Chain A
Amino acid sequence: MNKKIIGLIVGVLLLFGQGRVAFAEENFDYNRAYEDYIFTLEQYRQAHSEYLLARAQYMQSGTLTAQTKARDATVAMLETRDDVIATYLTALRMRLNEAPGIDPALRDGLSARLDVDVNWFLNHKSGIHSAGTLEDLISDSNQAKDYFELTRNLNYEVLQVISMGKVANLREQVIEPFTKLKIKVAEFSANNGFNSQVVDRWIIETDYKLTRSQEKYASALSLLASLQNPKEKDKYSVYNNALFRLQESLQYLDEANQFVQEILRGVKRKA
Chain B
Amino acid sequence: MSNIDLKPDQSTAPQTTQAGMPPPQIPGAVPVPPPMTKRKLRLPKISFGNKRKLVTILGISFGVLVLLLILAAFISNRSRNNNQEIIPTPTSEETTDIDNGGLEEAEMSEYAKDPDVIEIGKELDELEKKFDEVKIREEALSVPLLDFEVSFK
Contact = CB atoms under 8 A, between A and B. Distances in A.
B101 interface: yes
Given A184-B116, A261-B128, A270 B107 contact: yes
B48 interface: no
A92 interface: yes
A192 interface: yes
B75 interface: no
A8 B148 CA distance: 52
A85 interface: yes
Contact of B120 (A134, A177, A243, A254): A177
Contact of B110 (A16, A78, A145, A192): A192
Nearest to B51: A2
Contact of B66 (A13, A84, A257): A13
A152 interface: yes
Interface of A: 1-2, 5, 8-9, 12-13, 16, 19-20, 23, 34, 41, 44, 48, 55, 58-59, 70, 74, 77-78, 81, 84-85, 88, 91-92, 95, 134, 137-138, 141-142, 144-145, 148, 152, 155-156, 159, 162-163, 166-167, 170, 173-174, 176-177, 180-181, 184, 188, 192, 194, 243, 246-247, 250, 253-254, 257, 260-261, 264-265, 267-271
Nearest to B73: A20
B141 A247 contact: no
Contact of B146 (A85, A155, A265): A85
A246 B134 CA distance: 12
A264 B124 contact: yes
A257 B128 CA distance: 8
Interface string B112-153: 101011011101100110110010111011011011101110
Contact of A250 (B114, B120, B134, B147): B134
Given A12-B66, A16-B69, A170-B134, A268 B109 contact: yes
Contacts of A243: 136-137
Contacts of B143: 88, 152, 155-156, 159
A180 B103 contact: no
A134 B150 CA distance: 10
A270 B148 contact: no
Contacts of B73: 20
Given A34-B140, A91-B141, A254-B131, A5 B55 contact: yes
A9 B144 CA distance: 46
13 contacts: A1-B55, A2-B51, A9-B59, A20-B73, A92-B141, A141-B150, A159-B143, A163-B137, A167-B136, A177-B123, A243-B136, A247-B136, A264-B101
B135 to A, nearest CB: 8
